[in-house]
Amino acid sequence: TVYSLVTKLKYDEKSTLLDYDIAFGELTEDFRIKGLKKLVCSAMGCVRDQISPSHFIKNISMFQKLTGAPVEIISYNQYSSRVLWNGMTHRYFIKRLRQLISNQHLQQTSVLSHLNYSPSSIEVTTMTDGTTDLSDFTSVTPTSQKI
């Protein structure tokens, strides 16, 4: 199943944080209803719509909490003639995502441990070139075993 977050009615409109949250909520509900098992996504919508990495990860964390599904975030350091990643370099953007994921993961673990629930890991995968060969991926999983 392939999804695209629809955060605005017209392409040339600007998404708001509320639009983004509603779209993520709809994705989460549909994902649960269909019984899907893993989310592979890009942070490109976050980049394009100037959504902060912390807000993006907050939504990813909530998605994971509600679905129990592992999440893999894929990012590629693609040349652009304009400033991307909210003015950050790609390297810093990925580092920031990893920090936020680690923080959210620890918070979720402490809250969810009271429910006897162990959340799935969230992975950030950075493509080192333009291919989709898994041997070309670098993956970081912020679990207690790998931190």
Least confident of 45-54, 85-94, 128-137: 128-137
Question: Residue 109 — very low, low, confident or very high, per pLDDT cuts 50/70/90?
Answer: very low
Distance, CA of 123 to CA of 55 (rounded, Å)? 17
Residue 112 has pLDDT above 50, yes or no: no
Say what the pTM is: 0.69
Report the range out of 23-37, 77-91, 112-126, 127-141 with the highest average pLDDT: 23-37
Distance, CA of 5 to CA of 30 (rounded, Å)? 12
pLDDT digits (tens, 9 = 90+) for 5-52: 888 888 788 888 999 999 999 999 999 999 998 888 888 777 778 888
Question: Where along the chain do its domains lie?
Answer: 17-140
- Contact partners, residue 46, CB within 8 Å, separation at least 6: 52, 53, 55, 56
CA dihedral in degrees (21, 66, 69, 98; nearest 10)? 60
pLDDT at residue 118, as a whole number: 39
How many helices (H) and strands (E) in the chain?
4, 4
Residue 65 has pLDDT above 70, yes or no: yes
Distance, CA of 144 to CA of 106 (rounded, Å)? 9
Higher pLDDT, 105 or 115: 105
